[in-house]
Chains A and B, each alone.
Chain A
Amino acid sequence: MGELKLMKGNEAIAEAAIREGVDAYFGYPITPQSEVLEYLMMERPEQRTGMVVLQAESELAAINMVYGAASCGKKVFTSSSSPGISLYQEGISYIAGAELPCVIANIVRGGPGLGTIQPSQADYFQTVKGGGHGDYKLLTLAPSSVQEMADFIELGFELAFKYRSPIMILSDGMIGQMMEKVELKDQKSRWSEAEINTLNGTWATVGKPDSRERNIITSLDLDSAKMEQHNHDLQAKYRMMEKNEVRYEVFDTEDAEYLIVAYGSSARIAQKSVFLARQKGIKVGLMRPITLYPFPSKPMAELAKQMKGILSVEMSAGQMIEDIKLSVECSVPVEHFGRYGGIIHSPEEVLEALEQKIIGG
């Protein structure tokens, strides 16, 4: 068993990044995720592993520092929160276009605009439906515990390099700020120059030897036919993600007649709602998508066959519900419930919504 610690989600993700052997973190302070940068600065990872930590002058600069270091085949991590992630979008589009690996965490707060510093799940559309310009997809992992904040660093980098693609950890201010027990992995060593050459030498800008053609990192091609082909290649990669990387969890669904679908913080709350409902004799189960893109459409459609209704629970005005509806294709009624703008719904409110909108509806 790894080392056990009581940590905030933001601290756990930072510590996990050091232990993963990440080469660099670039970030800019914003509530409710500033602890990530603060923790890293306090821990002196340049002494522990040689990891670079730099506070950038803006989110625009931070994501482009990520772009630069990722171009060199390094493991690069960054984090921000909603308004900052909006500023990241340009860079994320370039990173996706240039096919660079990196891991980005969004500790979501309420919006729109400057919004609030309290938790929210209102960045779902921005994350899984595009965000930046162009046809690209962001493989998105949604942690619902401090443990998963730590675990998704390793998984995130595995996926980032497997697909040469940016990976988003879509968390929120509740998971980022709350403290829980977390089991930390052992320290991995950072990749050596030779390892980077072996693993990423075919594409990374590490300096051109005479023995090979130059490596170029770009998202540009003025020849539209070539750009269309590049887009075909990207889409083929996304189809592979959809085939191989769907992750989800189900809870109390065996005999369920009703289903709650919720991710991240909302899934924790909804689990209590399921417990309360079962006490009242209502047969309800929970499905928690762990990957938001690729969305667990097929298992959801399969599960929907036994359901009389589905309640989508998210801390937004209703975003993931669109993917649920697309998944079940009108085979069963789907309704949304959620508090938003920084308000967290209670388990009782979720149960009440289930009774009114689904069971009584």
Chain B
Amino acid sequence: MDIKDIVKEENLVYTKTKCMTDNVLSYCPGCGHGTAHRVIMEVLDEMNIQEDTIGVAPVGCSVLAYDFMNIDIIQAAHGRAPAVATGVKRTMPEKYVFTYQGDGDLAAIGTAETIHACNRGENITIIFINNGIYGMTGGQMAPTTLKGMRTSTSPYGRDLPSMGNPLKITELVAQLPGTYFVARHAVHTPAAVRKTKKAVRKAFEIQKENKGLTFIEIVSNCNSGWKMSPVKSNEWMVENMFPFYPMGDIKVDGELVKKD
């Protein structure tokens, strides 16, 4: 059987999303960024809002997100994406505006911008990729690095008394009155991808209603930074990251979800 026998109209169940460009992704093979990009862009496609959406890319591995997302997009300084998005949304309130940020960008250098955009209830969506490490600069400790986790700047493991605690910023922003929908998901399995996509779609739909800030954390792997194979890194993520950063809704319709 030849490949031409397989690639037929009736067999096509998966096509390129209009909101992704043809550029080759710069991410390491096995990294979750590509899937996360695709999920968001599929939502824009399905909602038919490519023309009405303005994205803000961070500094970090996804600094080049503008090469891959086929939308009008702004590259922000490190940590400042929520402020940039505020400037966009305040002057273009009819547009959908989102930021795409990593853990160093959002939860370390940009903590003030994150908290205040959330607290003001800017009608934007923040997509927060948490892989517990600085991938772009070569695997340094991040604010979300787990206790005992080895990185190039915590080579003997993160020592809490001297290096501080991993920051659950998603739970923190959920406490603020300006956030309307806060959830944590992943993109390591088809089931997880579907849940993430549903949450992203919900977040964008809330923007239309001007109800406040929507915040989706995506716990992801960094196989290069973690020095693991892609498969092993996803297993490690499930075993180690998920217990500390549990999946699911944290705040829905402006109300914190009660945990038993």
Question: Assuming the A-B contacts A58-B112, A69-B88, are A64 and B80 also in contact, with contact meaning beta carbons closer than 8 angstroms in the complex?
Answer: yes
A:77-98 near B, CB below 8 Å: 90-91, 94, 98
Interface string of B75-95 (1 = CB under 8 A from A): 111001001111110111001
Least CB distance, A57 to chain B, in whole angstroms: 4
Cβ of B235 < 8 Å from any Cβ of A?
no
Least CB distance, B15 to chain A, in whole angstroms: 17
Question: Assuming the A-B contacts A24-B91, A52-B90, A220-B63, are A72 and B83 also in contact, with contact meaning beta carbons closer than 8 angstroms in the complex?
Answer: no
Stretch at the interface among A1-9, A200-208, A262-270, A293-301: A200-208
Q: B88 and A205: CB pair below 8 A?
A: yes
State in angstroms the CA–CA spacing of A220 and B76 once bound together. 10
Chain B residue nearest in CB terms to A58:
B112
Cβ of B74 < 8 Å from any Cβ of A?
yes
B:47-64 near A, CB below 8 Å: 50-54, 56-57, 63-64
Q: A207 and B53: CB pair below 8 A?
A: yes
Interface string of A202-227 (1 = CB under 8 A from B): 00111111100011111110100000
Q: A61 and B73: CB pair below 8 A?
A: no
Cβ of B242 < 8 Å from any Cβ of A?
no
Question: Assuming the A-B contacts A57-B113, A60-B112, A64-B80, are A205 and B90 also in contact, with contact meaning beta carbons closer than 8 angstroms in the complex?
Answer: no
Chain B residue nearest in CB terms to A50:
B91
Interface residues in B, total, Cβ within 8 A: 33
State in angstroms the CA–CA spacing of A24 and B87 once bound together. 8
Residues of A contacting B53 in the complex (Cβ-Cβ under 8 angstroms) = 207
Chain A residue nearest in CB terms to B88:
A68
State in angstroms the CA–CA spacing of A56 and B83 once bound together. 9
Cβ of A258 < 8 Å from any Cβ of B?
no
Q: B83 and A61: CB pair below 8 A?
A: yes
> For B75, B76, B87, B92, which residue has the most chain A Cβ atoms within 10 angstroms?
B87
Question: Assuming the A-B contacts A57-B112, A205-B72, A219-B75, are A65 and B86 also in contact, with contact meaning beta carbons closer than 8 angstroms in the complex?
Answer: yes
Interface string of A16-49 (1 = CB under 8 A from B): 0000000110100000000000000000000000
State in angstroms the CA–CA spacing of A58 and B77 once bound together. 15
Checking A54, A71, A220 against B90 with a beta-carbon cut-off of 8 angstroms, the contacting residue is A54
Checking B71, B75, B77, B91 against A214 with a beta-carbon cut-off of 8 angstroms, the contacting residue is B71
Cβ of A157 < 8 Å from any Cβ of B?
no
Checking B63, B77, B92 against A64 with a beta-carbon cut-off of 8 angstroms, the contacting residue is B77
Cβ of A277 < 8 Å from any Cβ of B?
no
Question: Assuming the A-B contacts A207-B52, A218-B66, are A90 and B91 also in contact, with contact meaning beta carbons closer than 8 angstroms in the complex?
Answer: no
Cβ of B116 < 8 Å from any Cβ of A?
yes
Q: B84 and A24: CB pair below 8 A?
A: no
Q: A207 and B84: CB pair below 8 A?
A: no
Cβ of B170 < 8 Å from any Cβ of A?
no
Residues of A contacting B91 in the complex (Cβ-Cβ under 8 angstroms) = 23-24, 52, 68-69, 72, 74, 76
Q: B116 and A220: CB pair below 8 A?
A: no
Least CB distance, B96 to chain A, in whole angstroms: 9
Residues of B contacting A72 in the complex (Cβ-Cβ under 8 angstroms) = 54, 87-88, 91-92
State in angstroms the CA–CA spacing of A214 and B52 once bound together. 12
Chain B residue nearest in CB terms to A52:
B90
Q: B84 and A65: CB pair below 8 A?
A: yes
Q: A67 and B116: CB pair below 8 A?
A: no
Cβ of A354 < 8 Å from any Cβ of B?
no
Residues of A contacting B75 in the complex (Cβ-Cβ under 8 angstroms) = 98, 216-220
Chain A residue nearest in CB terms to B86:
A65
State in angstroms the CA–CA spacing of A74 and B93 once bound together. 13
Question: Assuming the A-B contacts A24-B87, A60-B83, A65-B86, are A217 and B113 also in contact, with contact meaning beta carbons closer than 8 angstroms in the complex?
Answer: no
Cβ of B17 < 8 Å from any Cβ of A?
no
Residues of B contacting A94 in the complex (Cβ-Cβ under 8 angstroms) = 77
Checking B73, B85, B92 against A216 with a beta-carbon cut-off of 8 angstroms, the contacting residue is B73
Cβ of A310 < 8 Å from any Cβ of B?
no
State in angstroms the CA–CA spacing of A214 and B76 once bound together. 17
Least CB distance, B72 to chain A, in whole angstroms: 4
Cβ of A175 < 8 Å from any Cβ of B?
no
Q: A217 and B74: CB pair below 8 A?
A: yes
> For A58, A68, A210, A217, which residue has the most chain B Cβ atoms within 10 angstroms?
A68
Residues of B contacting A66 in the complex (Cβ-Cβ under 8 angstroms) = 87
Cβ of B35 < 8 Å from any Cβ of A?
no
Residues of B contacting A90 in the complex (Cβ-Cβ under 8 angstroms) = 77
B:208-240 near A, CB below 8 Å: none
Cβ of B175 < 8 Å from any Cβ of A?
no
- Sorted nearest first, the 9 A-B pairs with minimum C-beta distance are A68-B87, A65-B87, A68-B84, A64-B83, A218-B75, A205-B72, A69-B87, A64-B80, A57-B116
Given A68-B83, A210-B51, 7 extra CB contacts under 8 A: A57-B116, A58-B112, A65-B90, A68-B88, A74-B91, A208-B70, A214-B66
- Could you pull out 28 A-B pairs where Cβ atoms are within 8 angstroms? A23-B91, A24-B87, A52-B91, A56-B83, A56-B116, A57-B116, A61-B83, A61-B113, A64-B76, A64-B80, A64-B84, A64-B87, A67-B74, A67-B83, A68-B88, A69-B88, A69-B91, A71-B84, A71-B88, A76-B87, A204-B72, A206-B72, A208-B72, A214-B70, A215-B72, A216-B72, A216-B75, A222-B64
